[in-house]
Amino acid sequence: MPTSNTTDSMSLADGFAAARAITKQCGRTFYFSAHFLPREKRYATYSVYALCRISDDTVDNNCGDAAAHQLNTIKNKIDAVYNRSSMTDPVLLAFRETVFNYSIPKLYYDELIDGMYMDVHKSSYDNFDELYRYCYKVAGVVGLIMLKIFGSDNAQAEASAVQLGIAMQLTNILRDIKEDFERGRIYLPLDELERFGVTRQSLSRGIVDDNFKSMMRFQIKRARTHYEQSAAGIKMITDVRSRFVACAMKDLYAQILTAIEENNYDVFTIRAHVGTLRKLKTACGIFLKGNY
């Protein structure tokens, strides 16, 4: 794992270990895919994921002023990281090591935190244009962050990284409709819900009727289009193992959409997921095809 000449090595090691534990517990697909990265890049991705996860959980586990206050605290910590301020938090030390080793712009994290503030102040989106802006901030920029670690300054690779992040966020939204509704949030564009005849009442009751299924088919098709648009830029990543991981993340996460279809679009009583055996088969298939 990365080391530093200016930071106590034990604290840094503890930070990367803690980030790894957070990733393993909360990001199963991400954690599985990261196994194929070179060791230094693998631990760098853990530190990035951990910071994003902590920020996201702040919004999910708090509300209103409390969430805004906690996000402001996280923003100040990120500012301190980029200002090279003195700190003792091991996870932040690992995060700092990563952002400077891989020259990750602070702008990306400013956008990420801004997107999470949207979760505090906004509970629904009128149309897809509004939702796209949110997805870019909370997920598209994560794709750009990961690209810095994977290795590519190619403009097409950057555009594809954004599309992959947005595709994965749209997938999360479809998988988590029930949980988000219970938190008082509807991420599905309201104009599209109205077009398909899906109401707040039907969402609250978990009704999976023809209207809901038609709406889900439309949303899944859109998410898959973003996955397809992400594919070309992956080939611009310079490191072959990183290219493989980007392909794996794309294909594995897209299979959540397939799982939703296999569950007959019931996201209210069955949580769509991709099992370990299926993940292994997918990874093996990507490797054997060599299409990365």
| Whether residue 148 sits in one domain with residue 103 | no
Indicate the SS3 state at residue 205: coil
- Among the candidates 97, 121, 145, a domain finishes at 121
Q: What pLDDT is stored for residue 10 in this prediction?
A: 64
Average pLDDT, the chain: 91
| Whether residue 78 sits in one domain with residue 129 | no
CA angle 107, 109, 110 (to 5 degrees): 60
| Whether residue 172 sits in one domain with residue 76 | no
Q: What pLDDT is stored for residue 7 in this prediction?
A: 42
| Whether residue 264 sits in one domain with residue 165 | yes
| Whether residue 186 sits in one domain with residue 87 | no
**HEC readout, 80-117:** HHHCCCCCCCHHHHHHHHHHHHCCCCHHHHHHHHHHHH
pTM for the whole thing?
0.89
| Whether residue 134 sits in one domain with residue 273 | yes
Q: Are 91 and 51 in contact (CB under 8 A)?
A: yes
| Whether residue 130 sits in one domain with residue 227 | yes
What mean pLDDT comes out for the span 118-123? 90
Q: Are 146 and 161 in contact (CB under 8 A)?
A: yes
| Whether residue 245 sits in one domain with residue 102 | no
Q: What total number of domains does the chain contain?
A: 2
List pLDDT tens digits, range 86-109.
888 999 999 999 999 999 999 999
| Whether residue 1 sits in one domain with residue 132 | no
List pLDDT tens digits, range 127-148.
999 999 999 999 999 999 999 9
- Among the candidates 121, 139, 156, a domain finishes at 121
Domain that holds residue 162: 123-292
| Whether residue 53 sits in one domain with residue 130 | no
List pLDDT tens digits, range 260-285.
999 999 999 999 988 888 888 888 88
CATH number at residue 97: 1.10.600.10
Q: What pLDDT is stored for residue 3 in this prediction?
A: 47
| Whether residue 198 sits in one domain with residue 149 | yes
User: Which of 58-62, 203-207, 241-245 is predicted least confidently?
Assistant: 58-62
- Among the candidates 121, 151, 178, a domain finishes at 121
What mean pLDDT comes out for the span 137-164? 93
